[in-house]
């Protein structure tokens, strides 16, 4: 395994750990039991890649082929179960770790889709799905409207990262610099959004207008 | 492309546009941001066909093979984002457009399943799933109990349309008249339900009886 | 068909009937219409096996290949629609029937995954998923936090049953005794949990500590 391969392997496990931790923190807010922590951690960590694999027809899906991934997600879930109440300021730390996971998964997800034969526009989208749908499934199962749909420059950062990677690859740029450039694009946009509080305008009904319910 | 083929292509895009619009209107009620509008519009427009393709094993799923579909859904979502507050009576217009989409997807979904080798009863069901599961996913993601399960002659109209098409095809009727007959069956039942306010009786607990919660 | 095969066929249909009934009872609490009863009953009865088949790439999924399964789920849904308000103590009866379904599906799901070539650890997990994800999908569609994640020794019983079966098969034990031993392991743990009110400790925030919302 080359140095870059080894680094990516570690980043991949780190990305799963981070997303698993975000899932376990939502489980702590919902006061689930230990099984619930593990299920939500796994869904958050693997959900995006699972959706990508299913849409492409890459089965068995990736986490059924590598027990280390599930071991990492479960260990993180158990750790959070026993320590979540002790950690102050954990949401801020998580926010930054999550930005690393987002950057990594957007780019690696797009690469897997390209290798599976998806056209560039579809590979870009599947990169975004890999990076974001774990969180969507986490929120749907926990009965919340997905954070992705309500807040901030999140999906857009993933889109920028995946698109940068795919465009560079289409231009014949080697894989490793393209991966790094894509991750940098995603991470810098997301970091700016966190630091400056950027967010997309939400839809607001105009005052004085009523929105009759459809039913 | 024959005249009927061209017509079906246009109707197919129109069906996606209509379902995307219904998704974007739910997004406007939930006050999502622009990314949320596009995601919900795409889920509503493609969700039913995606479920059909996954259950049958037709991968990559259909919308990954034709960028025009995503372009239509995104354009509709953006349009609704900027105009929804201006349109009066938009729910009534949508109701009729939705009935056209329902009729079209029920019949075309059943045809795709037949071509993929599904037996007639399964093709009928997959037609219903194609026509209705986009709306189910829209409601699940937006944290509402699916409209499909609560109200009106909706799934039944799709069932009538898909069954009519499949039965006629089994009798050796040509494709185009079978498609038209199926769409007509679905649309007329749905139209009658809209105009006369038909709905299925919902389950009601009898007065004086208690329903102890299961947990 | 041997005696054991015939028995398993009947238990399989019985398991689907039981899970379908649990889905229809949730539909009755949500006051859905008859279509809603059938959809939720089918989702609960087939959901776990469908997730297993999709993750493994076994398509078309199992219930598209055998119309008897859907007939059973629909018949149960209609029966519950007309009788649910009459039955006293139905939740207790259901609890025991559900324990039988859980035991059966955990073991049979693991076997199907082994036959499809999954490694032992993955087959064990897919057995748990087969037994539990129908209920998860039922609760997600009905807009509740899944019972699985909140309560009791449920997933753990399925895990014990699937693991027992897989371990015995790895040791070269014949299929029928391994199936029976796995089902016995799952059922006895679940039965003890029901009778003694065992449950897993849920996560609780310590008093005096605040859990600031993430957003």
- pLDDT tens figures, B23-50: 998 888 888 888 889 999 999 999 999 9
Taking only the tens place, the pLDDT of each residue in B110-122 is 999 999 999 999 9
Ranges in chain A, pLDDT < 50:
207-215
Burial of A211 (0-12, 13-18, 19+ CB in 10 A): middle
CA–CA separation, A122 vs B156, rounded Å?
A: 35
Taking only the tens place, the pLDDT of each residue in A62-90 is 999 999 999 999 999 999 998 877 765 66
Cis peptide before A60 (omega within 30 of 0): yes
Of A27, A29, A35, the CB nearest to C156: A35
Please give the pLDDT value at position A88: 56
**Beta carbons within 8 Å of C205's beta carbon, 6+ residues apart:** A28, A31, A85, C211
Contacts of B154 in chain C (CB under 8 A): 35
Complex ipTM value:
0.84
CA–CA separation, C208 vs A67, rounded Å?
A: 39
Cis peptide before B82 (omega within 30 of 0): no
Q: Where are the alpha helices (DSSP H) in C151-206?
A: 155-170, 175-196
Of A121, A122, A203, the CB nearest to B31: A203
CA–CA separation, A28 vs C150, rounded Å?
A: 11
DSSP state of B154: S
Cis peptide before B60 (omega within 30 of 0): yes
Contact C155 A54 (CB under 8 A): no
Quick one: tokens of A59?
Answer: 């089965």
Taking only the tens place, the pLDDT of each residue in C37-70 is 999 999 999 999 999 999 999 989 999 999 999 9
A66: left (phi over 0), alpha (psi -120 to 50) or beta: beta
Decide: C36 and C8 in contact? Cβ < 8 Å.
no
DSSP state of A85: G
**Beta carbons within 8 Å of C139's beta carbon, 6+ residues apart:** C26, C145, C146, C147, C148
Q: Tell me the Cα Rg of chain C.
A: 18
3-class secondary-structure state, position C175:
helix
Contact A149 B85 (CB under 8 A): no
Contact B54 C57 (CB under 8 A): no
Taking only the tens place, the pLDDT of each residue in B66-110 is 999 999 999 999 999 988 777 656 677 678 878 888 999 999 999
Quick one: tokens of B210?
Answer: 């208690």
């Amino acid at each position: 395994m080359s140095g870059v391969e080894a680094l990516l392997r570690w980043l991949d496990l780190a990305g799963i750990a981070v997303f698993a931790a975000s899932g376990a923190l939502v489980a702590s807010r919902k006061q689930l039991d230990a099984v619930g922590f593990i299920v939500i951690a796994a869904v958050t960590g693997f959900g995006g890649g699972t959706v990508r694999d299913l849409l492409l027809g890459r089965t068995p899906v990736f986490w059924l082929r590598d027990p280390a991934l599930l071991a990492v997600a479960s260990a993180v879930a158990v750790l959070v179960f026993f320590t979540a109440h002790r950690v102050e300021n954990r949401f801020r730390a998580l926010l930054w770790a999550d930005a690393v996971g987002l950057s990594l998964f957007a780019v690696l997800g797009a690469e897997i889709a390209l290798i599976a034969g998806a056209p560039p526009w579809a590979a870009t989208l599947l990169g975004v799905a890999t990076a974001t749908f774990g969180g969507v499934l986490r929120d749907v199962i926990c009965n919340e409207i997905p954070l992705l749909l309500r807040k901030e420059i999140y999906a857009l950062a993933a889109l920028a990262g995946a698109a940068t990677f795919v465009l560079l690859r289409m231009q014949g740029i080697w894989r490793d610099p393209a991966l790094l450039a894509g991750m940098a694009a995603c991470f810098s946009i997301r970091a700016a959004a966190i630091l400056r509080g950027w967010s997309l305008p939400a839809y607001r009904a105009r005052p004085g207008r009523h929105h009759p319910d459809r039913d």
